[in-house]
Amino acid sequence: MRPIRGLDRPSQQWALVAACLIVTLLAGAEAVMLRRARVANEALLAGMLEERLNRQQLEVTLGHERAAIGVLSERGATPSAPTTATLTLDPVRSRGPSPPQPTIDPPAPGRVVELRLRLPGAPDPRLVSYRIALRQWSSGLTLWSRGGLAPGAADGRPVVAAALVGDVLVPGAYEVALSATGPDGAVVEVASYDAGVRAAPAR
């Protein structure tokens, strides 16, 4: 094999090898940068989708809140009014493998319901406020929530109560999460509850 003209000197050959190595390193670095940019774009897209889902959940919750405020304003009802139905739930130790049995009759769509969650023990005085979140049992989608709640008592037991309208409690299985905020702003999970609403009887 004839030597390539201009590369018959060792210095020139080493210079060519070094140039090839530099090009290879640059190509590898560019591939790594492209991979990192692709991962960053995927993470950004996932964050945008999660933010959109959270916004949709907030819009649903806001719609239920407005409906509850409208019903309470029109009727002048309060959670302790005689026309208000009550739904009292006891805490569960752990989430079961299957949805809860439907044991609750569906309330009228426009009726105000006072949801009472019995606390697993005496209220912790260190907790500032409580929050209730009503979720679909299967998907975990938040359908309704209410925060800034204070503990009270019902039937001689400590409870956290909030008013909602019957439109929220359509037939199905639900998980109710009770959380609280401490003085340092940290959120503490207090208890969870299950509820199953029966289907409306056929007429």
Burial class (CB in 10 A: 0-12, 13-18, 19+), 161: buried
Model confidence over 158-193: pLDDT tens digits?
999 999 988 889 999 999 999 999 988 899 999 999
CATH number at residue 12: 2.60.40.1930
> Above 60 in pLDDT, residue 52?
yes
Question: Tokens representing 45?
Answer: 């897209």
> Above 80 in pLDDT, residue 21?
no
| CA-based nearest residue to 115, from 162, 71, 78, 168 | 162
Residue ranges making up the domain that contains 163:
1-203
How many domains would you assign to the chain? 1
> Above 80 in pLDDT, residue 42?
no
